[in-house]
């Protein structure tokens, strides 16, 4: 007997990707229901060779369903996730609402699969921020070997992380640069994103950090180790899909770059592409549609005793969101539910 699955927010970028990945990974589902808000009610979405017509999230009865993937944003999640959880349906939430709740596990299956066992307190499991997910996949196997003291990360985040409207804004602004009279003013972003980079993701906090930067700090501590010090600068770049990160790591113990490369080659979810030649690294355009977190430019940092630099790239709609959510469901199934 397989699972009865719900995807809430099925018409959005992440919701559609969840449906794609459930099919690609042949998740043992007997039934899949697509939910959307009333403005998208009746919209058809693809699930493998079939087409699903979206149902109304507002009136849906979650009783009898095993797992609900939520990709609807924090406000809608705050309203509907407790309803689903109370009905006995385990919620895997892609928003930031529950990530910092001590009673809700925050899970990256390659890093802390055992954390799913704590789902029962609220019947909810949180999916991490896109930029955190790919980073911790690369950090954890190195931390296990040499214990990380400090991480300095700069991100180069694609516009798909902001949704469909942001993708359209980049596309239309790019066209507008070349076609007189078709210039497009910024709406999604505070400044033009086409041919530009914006060092501002989410709201500014009193510390001067943005909320996105704070998320990377708090989530790395919760998922990997609370003793790790993290500082982040998060930047939006004119790329449609794929987040990139320049990561500097300081360890307690010395770790040679060759050993680090070998460790990462064997680590779950990691793909090392690291040749010291033209094109011997991965860029966002090559990672689109792939499950892996790609790691390149691994090298010693000679300015500190135990330092390494590396470049990490992943499809933010996949490992940064939909793939990780489906992997959580797979882990939950293997460790707890054991259906299918």
Query: Does 158 appear as a known binding residue?
Result: no
Query: Does 51 appear as a known binding residue?
Result: no
234 is catalytic: no
Query: Does 88 appear as a known binding residue?
Result: no
Of 130, 234, 270, 287, the catalytic one is 130
Q: Within a 13 Å sphere around the CA of 41, how many CA atoms are in the beta-carbon half?
A: 9
Query: Does 12 appear as a known binding residue?
Result: yes
Query: Does 20 appear as a known binding residue?
Result: no
Query: Does 164 appear as a known binding residue?
Result: no
Encode 270-309: b = buried (16+ Cβ within 10 Å), e = exposed.
bbbbbeeeeeebbebeebbebbbbbbbbbebbeeeebbbb
Q: Which of 291, 285, 282, 286 is nearest to 319 (CA)?
A: 291
Query: Does 123 appear as a known binding residue?
Result: no
What SS3 class is residue 177? helix
270 is catalytic: no
103 to each of 26, 84, 115, 218, 311, how far by Cα in Å? Answer: 30, 17, 11, 15, 33
Of 89, 143, 243, 287, the catalytic one is 243
What SS3 class is residue 38? helix
Query: Does 279 appear as a known binding residue?
Result: no
142 to each of 66, 179, 219, how far by Cα in Å? Answer: 35, 49, 17
Query: Does 160 appear as a known binding residue?
Result: yes
Q: How many H helices and E strands in the chain?
A: 8, 14
241 to each of 29, 120, 157, 201, how far by Cα in Å? Answer: 28, 34, 8, 16
Query: Does 288 appear as a known binding residue?
Result: no
Known binding-site positions for phosphate: 99
Known binding-site positions: 11-14, 39-40, 99, 157, 160-161, 236, 316
Known binding-site positions for NADP(+): 11-14, 39-40, 160-161, 316
Q: Give the active site residues.
A: 130, 243
Known binding-site positions for substrate: 157, 236
């Amino acid at each position: 007997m397989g699972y009865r699955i719900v995807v809430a927010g099925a018409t959005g970028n992440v919701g559609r990707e969840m449906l794609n990945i459930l099919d690609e990974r042949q998740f043992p589902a007997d039934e899949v229901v697509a939910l959307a808000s009333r403005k998208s009610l009746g919209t058809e979405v693809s699930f493998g060779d079939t087409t699903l017509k979206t149902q109304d999230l507002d009136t849906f009865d979650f009783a009898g369903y095993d797992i609900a993937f939520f990709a609807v944003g924090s406000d809608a999640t705050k309203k509907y996730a407790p309803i689903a959880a109370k009905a006995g349906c385990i919620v895997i939430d892609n928003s930031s609402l529950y990530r910092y709740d001590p009673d809700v596990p925050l899970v990256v299956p390659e890093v802390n699969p055992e954390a799913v066992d704590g789902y029962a307190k609220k019947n909810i499991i949180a999916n991490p921020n896109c930029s955190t997910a790919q980073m911790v996949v690369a950090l954890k196997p190195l931390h296990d070997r040499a214990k990380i003291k400090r991480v300095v990360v700069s991100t180069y985040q694609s516009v798909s992380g902001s949704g469909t409207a942001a993708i359209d804004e980049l596309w239309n602004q790019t066209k507008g640069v070349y076609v007189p009279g078709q210039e497009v003013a910024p709406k999604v972003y505070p400044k033009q994103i086409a041919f530009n980079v914006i060092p501002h993701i989410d709201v500014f906090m009193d510390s001067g950090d943005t909320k996105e930067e704070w998320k990377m700090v708090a989530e790395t501590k919760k998922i990997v180790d609370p003793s790790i010090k993290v500082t982040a600068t998060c930047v939006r770049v004119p790329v449609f899909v794929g987040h990139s990160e320049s990561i500097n790591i300081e360890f307690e113990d010395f770790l040679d770059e060759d050993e680090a490369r070998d460790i990462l080659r064997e680590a779950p979810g990691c793909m090392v592409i690291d040749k010291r030649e033209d094109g011997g690294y991965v860029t966002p355009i090559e990672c689109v549609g792939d499950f892996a977190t790609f790691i390149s430019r691994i090298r010693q940092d000679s300015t500190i005793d135990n330092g390494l630099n590396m470049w990490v790239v992943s499809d933010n709609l996949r490992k940064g969101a939909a793939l990780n959510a489906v992997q959580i469901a797979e882990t939950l199934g293997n460790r707890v539910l054991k259906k299918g």
